[in-house]
Structure formats: structure tokens, C-alpha cells
Amino acid sequence: MSIPSFGVGTFRLTGQTVIDSVRNALELGYRAVDTAQIYGNEAEVGQAIAESGVPRGELFVTTKIWVDNYAKDKLVPSLRESLEKLRTDHVDLTLIHWPAPGNGVALSETLSALAEAKALGLTRQIGVSNFNIELTKQAIAIVGKNEIATNQIELSPYLQSHVLTAFLKEQGITVTSYMTLAYGKVLKDPVLAQIADKHRATVAQVALAWALQLGYAVIPSSTRRENLASNLLARGLQLDADDMAKIARLERNGREVSPQGLAPVWD
């Protein structure tokens, strides 16, 4: 199985807001949905999926295990709880949400439990999120690189992480980009605005097309149906070499998310 290149994210969306967002996304043609235990919205995501009428076999559902559930005796039970909330007997992808170095649970224990969840049929694929190169190497040593479907990391025109993404590509591990719009900061960028005008596109479409052309999967979120529809159009936007070169020069190590105690030492 491969990772869908375009999905809808649900970070920071709860209650009726996330139900409406996922429902609108599915009506518009999205077929991949990304959630996580810590988002507190798995039940609502499950409700939206159940009420959408879209057959489960057409969907790709991702969730992430929170750090409190990394121990061997907690991971599988917590995933079963997630499945109940999501109203499904399996998810398509389960990720370790943050490395959480020093949390008292060895990475080998967590990844072995995640591999067990896959063997039990609770998840079709497994992967990691927010792992640096060294931690990804450790994960490969534990379960094998062919078992790691993706590393979901923060990426945007302001945070391009060339060294890490090159390593992941070398290993054949799909890069999933989150925060591709940098909390909306890139939407005000004059360089991206100029490229958008050139293609009669939106800045959001340009940023998403940039990530897609680099081979990354993207999972943008929105509470507005028109934005969800507009974002999808990024799949048909072809940026030229000059556009990509201009965006490459926007790199500024503009990381938005790096929680203390959870994040690794970034590459």
C-alpha cells in the first residue's frame, strides 16, 4: 500500500467543527483523513465518516498514538479504543506521534508494540512522526525500513528540512508534510503571491503544489468548504523550475511546532 498524496487534516478541530470539515471534505472528493489520539476528535471524525456514505474501503484513515500510550501494555489497547471511536475495525496507518525522548519507554518497546498492532490487523501500515534522522535510523534497525510507511513532519516553504527529507527519500520512506502553510504565515508571502498571480492560483495552492512536486504527501485542514475545495486544485497546478527555485530560497528554518520534552534534536 502507498500513502495517499492528498488528505484532510483535523488538528485543532473539535466538535461540530471537525464533523463539518470532514463531511465537506469527503463530499468534495477527499478520501484520506488524518487524526490523532491527542486531537480529542476521533469520535467526531468517526461520526463524519460513518454518516458520509463513503464505503470504508475507499477511505484511508490515519491516527497517531499519543505518548501516554507508548508502553507495550498500553499501545494496542489504546489503538482499539481509537478504532471504537472511529467506528472501524482497522485504520490504514498508525503513527508514533512524537519521539518523546526520555519518557521512560524505549523506542524498541513502542515500535514492537506498533508492529504487533499491525500483525493483529488493527492497522494496515505503521510509521512515525516528528522523527529526526538518528531516530529514524533507530526505527529502521528495530522494524526494518520497509515497515515504516512514512515520517510525518512539519514542512513548509519556510521550513524545508533538506537534509532530513533527502535521507527519507534515500530510504524509500514517504514524507508526509504537515503545517505546509505554516499556520497561514506563508499566505502573506509576496514571492508566493507573485507565483500565484502568474498561475492564476491561490497562495495556498502554490505552497501545496510545491510540496506535492517534491514528492511529499500533504494533509491541509480547513473549516471552510470553499478552502477545502480550493486546496484540492493544487493537485493540478504545475510549478515550473523558476517557481521552485524561488520557493527554495524562502527557507528560513521557520519551525512552528517543537514541544519541549516531545521533540527530538532537529536535523
Show which residues are catalytic: 39
Cβ partners under 8 Å of residue 23, min gap 6? 48, 51, 52
H/E stretch holding 133 reads: helix 133-143
Q: 99-105 long-range CB contacts below 8 Å, 24 or more apart?
A: 99/128, 99/130, 99/131, 99/132, 99/135, 99/262, 99/263, 99/264, 100/67, 100/70, 100/261, 100/262, 101/264, 102/261, 103/67, 103/70, 103/261, 105/70, 105/71
Cell numbers for 94, please give them.
498508525
Of the CA atoms within 13 Å of residue 187, those in its CB half-sphere come to: 10
Query: Rounded distance, CA 79 to CA 16, Å?
Result: 23
Separation of alpha carbons 33 and 173, rounded Å? 20
Looking at this protein, which amino acid is placed at residue 61? V
